[in-house]
Structure formats: C-alpha cells, structure tokens
C-alpha cells in the first residue's frame, strides 16, 4: 500500500523522501480511492493527507498532479470504451491545493500531459520552502531576505512569494546561506 511509503520510516522507501528535496506525486486513476465531500469521515481525506505531510516534512514543497476523470466531464465518465468509475474530485483537490497539474484520463496518449507535469516538477526544483513568510523587520519597505553562496557572494536571481523563494536560474551545486526574519505567530 502506498501510504506505507510515507508513514513507515523503517522501509527502504524512505530514501525516496530525501531531506531538502521537494516531493512530487503523480496520480493516474479513473476512480476516487474514497468518496469525497459526502459529509462522512473517511480515512483517505485529502486535506488530512496534506496536514500529515506538512507535519512530517514542514520544509518540503509537496505537489500532487493527477490524471483523472475531471469533474463534470460527463463524456469521459460515461465513455463506453472505458470502465471509468467516478470523477477524481479528491485527487483534483490535492492537485489544486498544491499547485499541481490536472490532466484527463480519457486522453488517448498521456505523453503530452506527463510532459507538462514533468516541466512543472522541474520548475519547482528551483524553489525552496522557508520556515515562515519573511518580513520587513527593519521597516525599509522591502522584505528582509538575503542569500549568499559559499564565497559570500550575494545572489539576486530570486523572487519570494509568501514562504517560497524561487530562483530564475538553476543554482550551481554548493552551499548557500539564507538570512531572513520571521515573526512569531
């Protein structure tokens, strides 16, 4: 079962979840694992999964992309040549909440969708999750944030959105120092 890969720290799968690396999950399904949004409490609630992952890896950027029967795509759901069971609402929720990509399981060829998902994952490699939203502690009008490389040279090829810093170019392998201020909440 797939949840053992993230819940059992003694498994050899734990090497898939490296410190400092983002987590990208691709789901391809023609059914929901559990009914979604019915008012009942289900073990496989996508919001609970996201809470669990955030608690387990608070500094990891997690992205879910899904290839599913898209909500309201009745043509896909009732396609006579397939055995589609239900809309992928829970998987769509995961993808929407984590800024992932949503594709259609009814496409004849998944390669173009997987290429888009792959590019999205590659783009997120140049992002890093900070422990908080950096603030303007010195009241200069700019967020107090700096990054230097191992030679103490400042980098400027980044942007910050909330607690995510993204780099416009791939960073060279090395050690970087990030300095920023958080406000205790």
pLDDT given at position 42: 44
The last residue of a domain, from among 125, 144, 163: 125
Helix axes 46-56, 89-97, angle to 10 degrees: 40
Cα dihedral sign for 185, 183, 54, 160? Answer: positive
* 61 & 103 share domain: yes
Burial (CB count within 10 angstroms: exposed 0-12, middle 13-18, buried 19+), residue 105: buried
Whether residues 179 and 154 share a domain: the answer is yes
Question: What does the alpha-carbon distance between residue 4 and residue 126 come to, in Å, rounded to a whole number?
Answer: 28
Q: Check whether residue 174 and residue 141 sit in a common domain.
A: yes
Whether residues 120 and 130 fall in one domain: no
Sheet holding 23-28, edge to edge: 23-28, 62-68, 102-104
* Structural domain that includes position 30: 4-125
Beta carbons within 10 angstroms of residue 66's beta carbon:
26
Asked if 114 and 132 sit in the same domain, the reply is no
Domain boundary among 125, 159, 175: 125
42 and 81 together in one domain: yes
What does the pLDDT read at residue 4? 61
Alpha-helical runs (H) found in the chain? 4-7, 46-56, 74-77, 89-97, 111-125
Q: Which of 102, 125, 148 is the last residue of a domain?
A: 125
Average confidence (pLDDT) per 10 residues, the chain, 185 residues? 63 74 89 58 74 88 93 89 83 94 93 94 82 90 91 91 87 86 76
Same domain, 120 and 103: yes
pLDDT at site 34: 58
Q: For the chain, what is the domain count? A: 2
pTM for the full model?
A: 0.72
Place of tokens 């019915």: 38
């Amino acid at each position: 079962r797939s949840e053992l890969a993230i819940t059992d720290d003694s498994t050899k799968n734990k090497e898939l979840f490296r410190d400092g690396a983002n987590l990208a999950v691709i789901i391809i399904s023609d059914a929901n694992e559990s009914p979604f949004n019915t008012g009942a409490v289900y073990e496989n609630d996508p919001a609970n999964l996201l809470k669990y992952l955030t608690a387990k890896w608070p500094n990891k950027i997690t992205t879910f992309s899904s290839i599913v029967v898209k909500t309201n795509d009745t043509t896909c759901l009732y396609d006579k040549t397939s055995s589609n069971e239900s809309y992928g609402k829970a998987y769509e929720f995961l993808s929407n909440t984590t800024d992932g990509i949503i594709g259609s399981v009814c496409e004849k060829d998944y390669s173009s969708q997987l290429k888009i998902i792959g590019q999205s994952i590659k783009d997120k490699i140049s992002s890093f999750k900070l422990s908080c939203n950096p603030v303007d502690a010195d009241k200069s009008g700019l967020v107090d944030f700096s990054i230097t490389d191992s030679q103490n040279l400042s980098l400027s090829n980044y942007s910050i959105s909330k607690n995510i810093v993204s780099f416009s170019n791939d960073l060279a392998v090395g050690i970087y120092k990030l300095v920023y201020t958080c406000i205790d909440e």
